[in-house]
Structure 1
Amino acid sequence: MMKFLKRLLLFLIMLLIGAGIYGYYNGMTVEDYKALISQITINQETKESEIEEEEPEDEIIAAEKKKITKPEGQKTELPSSGKPKKETKYELLPEPKNRFAQIDHFASNTPEEVHVDVITLAAFLQEKAKTDLEKARAIYVWIVENIRYDDEAYNTGVYPNYTAEYVLESRKAVCEGYSNLYLALGQEMGLEIKKVTGFAKGYGYRNKTKFYESNHAWNIIKLNGTWRVFDSTWGSGYGENVNGKLVTSKRMDSYWFNVDPYEAIFNHYPKDIGYCFVQPLISLSEYEQMPQLMGDFFSMGFNGKEVYAEVIAKPGLKYPKSYDLDTYVEKISAPRHSQLLVDQVYHFEFFIPRAYKVAAIDADNGWTYFERNNGRFSLDLILQKTGELSIGVQHEKGGTSYQTILKYHVLEQKVLN
């Protein structure tokens, strides 16, 4: 830019010199010179004004001009309106504060010398804890950050004896070891804690699969007179099938800390029915027929107790498919059931403080954008197309792509009559 201005200035100087010589030989008056200089000045100011208006594009708008990745492999096209209008840069809001931030930081920075045994580690972890809940949190954070899932044992079927001491030393385990270590540390801290074995709808599970033997272990802790569910195995990361083998990746998931039994019952069924802590109690066969609703469904705001009551009363009800996003999502309002009807109006509203945009995408790849206001995204949607309806979110950690949080199915009116 500076080089261009220097060249322009040099050109104007040369032009003035040339004009002077030309005027001298052609008898130009002083007034003629003034008019010429005035016109040149006006042209220069206009050019500089145009240059100043060429500001860098807003990063979000620039990204929209490129090919946008849509949810679940849909075709990537810009909205039918064409080139997006320039907008003010988005002001993202902070996520809700972590009430356990101090405990989490303390547990995450445990010195290596206290890892020698369960007694020493437990004594250190409870130093900053003032309540049983904070003690349970310190244990949870330490385990999910320091213990890896034993992929090799799972893939070969050869399991060592996962005592608490073995897990602490080897830093690897399957659910048996995770729950044994949580139990040992909790007991050392004086928590009312138990280990539970049962039937989980986790990695590799297929809808309505029958269970013949238990396949998982977790913990329950009594807090203020109420039993709650804790699963440090599921809280430590996630698994994927790679060439027929389980490959896990570490990522702390706080949802599995202090879970409501009415939410856990959709994917954790104890061998001892007395550890369900729900009413009415259900049998294993009833559990097998229940929808597989996971933590991301409840963490965004759907009520476990209400959904459980519905499922017991009407076993055939279906619920939207939910997806975990690496950002805070709070459902303020959204249909609880997956089957929606054409020509009906549905209200959607979410609080997603670190999101740029939210959109509803129908089966014909039609996009309807939510209204954005201080981290809240709302939309009254009139459904016009049958088929799949996805709610996609563009947020700061997802680049230009829209990541799905909920999927519904839109049906003709007569289907549900």
Structure 2
Amino acid sequence: MAALHERLEPWQRVLLGVFCFPLLPFYLCVYYICLKDQKKTEDVEENRRGNDHKDEETKVRQPNRRKSSVTDRDRDNEAKNSRPQDQSKSSFTNKAFQHHDEDLKQKRISNHSDHENEAKKARVQMQSKSSFTNEGFQHPDDEMTPETIITRNSQYQGKDIETEKHNVHIEREERKAHDIQKTAGNKGFIFTYPWDKSSLKSLQIDLEMFKHLDEYAAKLPANKSLDHLANLLIHKAHTDLEKVRAIWIWICHHIEYDIEGLKDVAKRSSNPEEVLRSGKGVCAGYSGLFQDLCRRAGILCESVNGYGKGAGYRVGQKIPGESNHAWNMVYLDKRWHLLDSTWGAGHTGSDRSKFTFEYNEFYFLTHPALFIGDHFPDKAECQLLQPMMSQKQFEELVFRGGNFYNCGLLSVQPETGTIYSENGSVSIVVESRQNIEFTFDVNGVKNGIMKLLNCGMALDVYLQEPGEYELLIYAMEPGSTKDYTGVLTYKIMCTAVDNTVKIPKCLHNPVGPSWLTEEEGLVEPSHPEPVIVTTDGRCTISFTTTRNLNFSCSLASDDIEMTSDMENRHVFISHIEDKVEMKVQLPCNGTYVLKIYIQPEGSKSSSYSYLCNYLIICDKPYTNWHKFPMKYNPWGKNCDLVQPLEGVLPRNTDVTFQLQIPDVTKVFIEGAKRVPLTYSGSGYWEGTCNTGDRKELFVMIQSNDPNTWQYLLKYEISH
């Protein structure tokens, strides 16, 4: 059967296999037995021919050789040409089915002394070649332990064993890095990294898994030897990513920015050994040390030079001709990633007079779409972006550093750092990953209206004079014990203003309802926008309450001098069950701020805490301005005044009263004479009273105690 198989052409074998597929198991068994027998026969034949000392290159036949018109010399040449290819494939095949030409060749060499030199060359060649695996190029020595290599190699005799073991490890890692470089170099530096706003990293990692490794690396003491330090850092690292992480953490916690070297070039050093010895370095020293340690750990790493928007940067500043910063890119998981250990370690402040260690996680494997915000490399391909950003686009980009993303912010509009205002007004919208608190200032003044959004913020700035302004925006996570952090910087160019829009100095940002008011128990606002425009000076603002609260309100304005009476008598609060209404009647036309305060019901403290405010505008004069009646302490929850709402009543006039007051037995009007009100079935006390010629008129109530009367409301009588 084997003989028949050998006579068939390749296409005939394939055709036979297709038709005989059901018999394939049986066919393979028989074929293997025949092949084994034939191999034994050919081995005996080969030994016999070797004893006769005949020329092996012309007389030895190949196993399973079929008849052909091709000459022996042609076949030998063909075998020589195909031999390297067969050798490269050997690591992918089962040894039981490997072609045994090499076995025969080794037997021939061992039987002929004139072939000894050729055998030595072949062995050296085989040792120098690397076998290709799915994990890259691996040297044959990688399968041997350092101890075995040192023992077998006489050049290590008489030397320190531990040192030589470490040297072997370094050589192996360097070979690995070289092979990675060869593989990565074929791909280049250009990658597309689309950002879906789900992670700040270019590689999906779980920082919690680094917790123990970070603690280990951060506590490692400085070492005078780069080799020893690299060996210690990767001691507990099991992957290339963990090696990079350990090196990053150590540098960020041990290398101080060299302030003197920054100011004096003569004192500056970027040599890794010098940076390690002194514990100080400028950005080139950080990146050089990082690259050196990565090389010793077998990680492919490059230093990148370029321009960074760091300390001293001003919005709209042009990039100078020379680089002012350096950082790194590492090759992990078959692609490049960016990091900046200088900015990860801390900051120098705007005056660059003192370095402060303050670890910044943002600059470790930062997503290229975010890294480009403040890093512009000299070589465009090191952006790792497609399409690449131009220098002009980078210069015009709004300045948002690591704090922007560390606070959970995602995007901002506009994205250009310089804004040209329209009639003195500009609008900024920020999107965040969660609810964030914000504040801002424009040249130190809050000339704007800021509204907190769910996962974001909207800001409208109103400038009062033409000129150049700097807008700074700060953010803070809710409940944080830290201060606000600067996250955005804009330059505003204003050539004309609209003076009809003025922001009162008494306005407190943020303005209007937000997630902050919801957290305090106020939902479903009647006016979700922070600005209310009224033509008659009147408006009613309402909320649904989810907590038991007491409310207080006041008005403020920069247009007129507000008296105590004006601050309190122009807002009237009604709180019925879970609905609170704030009726507003402005003293006169102008711009006002309504401030809302709350107090938990049953609180032992008599003070109220600030909740929010509205901006109320009335630009039309109105003739029927009035104030509300004065309220006394018994007026509270579930009290409602339907009429009269005017706090000043005409003299000698019959006035109808209708109001709701819970838990009272009697209600009467104290005027020219005492007039009781009647309780109706609808829950309101009603009646009519003549104002007479008195100066004041009171609404009084009686509870369960018949001898106790209380003032509830006070009205004034006009003359």
| TM-score, normalised with respect to structure 1 | 0.55
Please give the alpha-carbon distance, in whole angstroms, between the structure 2 residues aligned to 1:291 and 1:218.
Answer: 21
The whole-number CA distance in structure 1 between the counterparts of 2:371 and 2:218 is: 26
Q: Tell me if the contact between 2:305 and 2:327 (Cα under 8 Å) persists in the aligned partners.
A: yes
Aligned twin of 1:331: 433
1:272-287 equivalence runs, <5 A: 272-287=379-394
Structure 1 or 2: larger helix share? 1
Change (3 A) 1:168 1:292: same
SS in 1 for 2:433: strand
Match runs of 1:207-222 below 5 Å: 207-211=315-319, 212-222=321-331
CA RMSD of aligned residues (A): 4.4
CA drift at 1:140: 1.1
The answer on whether the counterparts of 2:329 and 2:336 sit within 8 Å (CA) in structure 1 is: yes
C-alpha distance in 2, partners of 1:180/1:384? 55
**499, 510, 530: which is aligned to 1:383?**
530
Structure 1: distance between partners of 2:482 and 2:292 = 46
Superposed CA offset, 1:384-404 (max 9, x none): 399xxxxxxxxxxxxxxxxxx
Higher relative contact order (CA 8 A, sep 6+): 1
- Describe how 1:250-265 pairs up with structure 2 within 5 A: 250-265=357-372
Q: Is the 8 A contact 2:272 2:292 kept in 1?
A: yes
Partner Cα distance (1:123, 1:268) in 2:
31
Q: Do the aligned partners of 2:412 and 2:428 also contact (CA within 8 Å) in 1?
A: no
Q: Which residue of 255, 266, 270 corresponds with 1:162?
A: 270
Which structure has more strand as a fraction of its residues? 2
Partner residue, 1:271: 378
Which one of the candidate residues 144, 147, 163 is aligned to 2:255?
Answer: 147
Counting only pairs closer than 5 Å after superposition, residues 357-376 of structure 1 correspond to structure 2 as 364-366=506-508, 370=516
Gaps of 5+ in 2: 1-205, 421-425, 441-447, 457-474, 485-503, 533-590, 592-614, 618-719
Q: Is the 8 A contact 2:261 2:269 kept in 1?
A: no
Cα offset for 1:251? 1.4
Work out the CA distance in 2 between the residues paired with 1:137 and 1:298.
20
Do structure 1's residue 126 and structure 2's residue 243 form an aligned pair?
Answer: no
Q: How many percent identity over aligned positions?
A: 28
Say if 1:260 and 1:307 are closer, same or farther in 2 by CA, change over 3 A. Answer: farther
> What letter is aligned with 2:209?
R
- Measured in 1, the distance between the counterparts of 2:518 and 2:230 equals 46
**CA shift at 1:345, angstroms?**
8.0
174, 194, 201: which is aligned to 2:282? Answer: 174
| 8 A Cα contact 1:103 1:128, kept in partner | yes
CA deviation after TM superposition for structure 1 residue 192, in Å = 2.1
Question: What are the superposed Cα offsets for residues 263-316 of structure 1, whole Å, 9 maximum, x if unpaired?
Answer: 01010011000101112212212211111111111233344xx779x859x998
Instruction: Give 1 or 2 for the bigger CA radius of gyration.
Output: 2
Say how many residue pairs are matched.
Answer: 272
Compute the displacement of 1:188 (Å).
Answer: 1.1
Deviation at 1:193, TM superposition (A): 1.3
Corresponding residue number in structure 2 for 1:192: 300
Relative to the length of structure 2, the TM-score reads 0.33
Selected match of 2:314 from 162, 186, 206: 206
Q: CA, structure 1 residues 343+102, in 2 after alignment: closer, same or farther (shift >3 Å)?
A: closer
Partner AA of 1:106 in structure 2: Y
Is the alpha carbon distance of 1:366 and 1:174 closer, same or farther for their aligned partners in structure 2, counting shifts above 3 Å? Answer: same
| Structure 1, 150-159 or 96-105: larger mean CA deviation | 96-105
Whether contact under 8 Å (1:241, 1:247) holds in the other structure is: no
Return closer, same or farther for 1:160/1:354 CA change in 2, 3 Å cut-off: same
Q: What residue in structure 2 maps to residue 100 of structure 1?
A: 210
CA contact (8 A) 2:346 2:357 kept: yes
Give the letter for the 1:133 counterpart: L
- Cα distance in 2 for residues equivalent to 1:252 and 1:371: 34
Residue deviations 1:347-383 (CA, integer Å, cap 9, x gap): 3479958637999xx974526682587xxxx999733
User: Whole-Å Cα distance in 1 between the matches of residues 355 and 283 of structure 2?
Assistant: 13
Report the CA distance shift for 1:176/1:347 in structure 2 as closer, same or farther (over 3 A).
Answer: same
Letter paired with 2:434: I
SS of aligned partner of 2:381? helix
**Gap regions ≥5 residues in structure 1:** 1-95, 323-329, 387-409, 413-417
The alpha carbon displacement at 1:335 in A equals 11
